[in-house]
Amino acid sequence: MDYSPGLRGVIAGETEISTVGMEGTSLRYRGYDAIELTKSHTYEDVASLIIDDSLDGKLFKETFSKHYEELLRDEALLNLINNLKINLHPMDVLRTAISYIGQADESNKLDAASKITAISCIAIASYDNEPTSELNNDFVVASSLLPNTASKEQLEALDDMLILYAEHGFNASTFAARVTASTRSDLTSAIVSGVGTLKGELHGGANEAAVELINSFDTPENAEKGVHKLFEEKKKIMGFGHGVYKIQDPRSPVVKSWVEMLSKTNESINRYEIAKKVDEIMDSEKNLFPNVDFYGGLLLSELGFAVDLFTPLFVTGRSVGWSAHYFEQRKQDTLIRPAAKYTGIQER
């Protein structure tokens, strides 16, 4: 049998949910260009498309709002989150909070997925202030994560970010969720598998590492010196290149444009200039393009989120993708069980 480390390039299953990297740059959700969807639809519409093949987000909005309000009244859940967040990373808190809800109602796909999304939003919002009780009718999920004073621009920016995070083929966390689903386990367990996998810096955690790098420089000139020093030390620059896209990550320009639009203070503009300098060096000297994580972390900073909340926000967006893959894998009903290449002692 052929061996591919990390299963790179190996076709491990069939899906109707998305295509990633076709022609080098595209991302499509059930045939729709994901970038075009950010221009004309909301995250709730896209969630409905990914899970139920319908671009009408009305039902997702309704079920999300219902679960969000119910969970806000769940004192045991809120106490659990508040106690855990004292000592644990937000991803660990989120993983445990999702486990708390138990088995979601899998007979209604949109309902089950929206419940997991709602609990993610409440866990994240609890780190700043009390979760908002005034949801925006147009951007329901995004408004649950931002303060009531958020502008329409900020809501749209976060909404686009969630759309771009929503689905991305057989990435590591989605594959982990599908492996769990293939055993006929429940949806909540599959989502928790995804959360645990996304936590790693080579996957979801890359956005945290990228913005920490940007924040470590105070001027574009120092950024140039610092990046070259990292080159000399042969250290990896997070947020660049992609395992599937070979020319450009189509999500990055969308996020970059929002960062430019929202950067209005001198401090924000300086950080954006630093990011562009790092981007320029990586392009000219390493021929690497920024992926969604590089400018994504900067955008989330501009929206007021702490660095350790970036990956939990990724979870919120990706929860619908994981859910869709869970239901697709359960329908296919095939146990995922790859072989391994043994490299140990042959006989003792």
Alpha-carbon dihedral 100, 105, 109, 114, rounded to 10 degrees = -40
Alpha-carbon dihedral 115, 307, 18, 193, rounded to 10 degrees = -60
Q: How far is CA 92 from CA 97, 123, 340, in A?
A: 9, 11, 30
What token pair was written down for 50? 């990914």
Helix (H) or strand (E) holding 246, with range, is none
- List, by residue number, the catalytic residues: 203, 242, 293
Nearest to 12 by CA among 251, 315, 319, 325: 325
Whole-number Å distance between alpha carbons of 179 and 333: 11
Residue with tokens 């990956």: 311
Q: What count of other Cβ atoms lies within 10 Å of the Cβ of residue 102?
A: 8
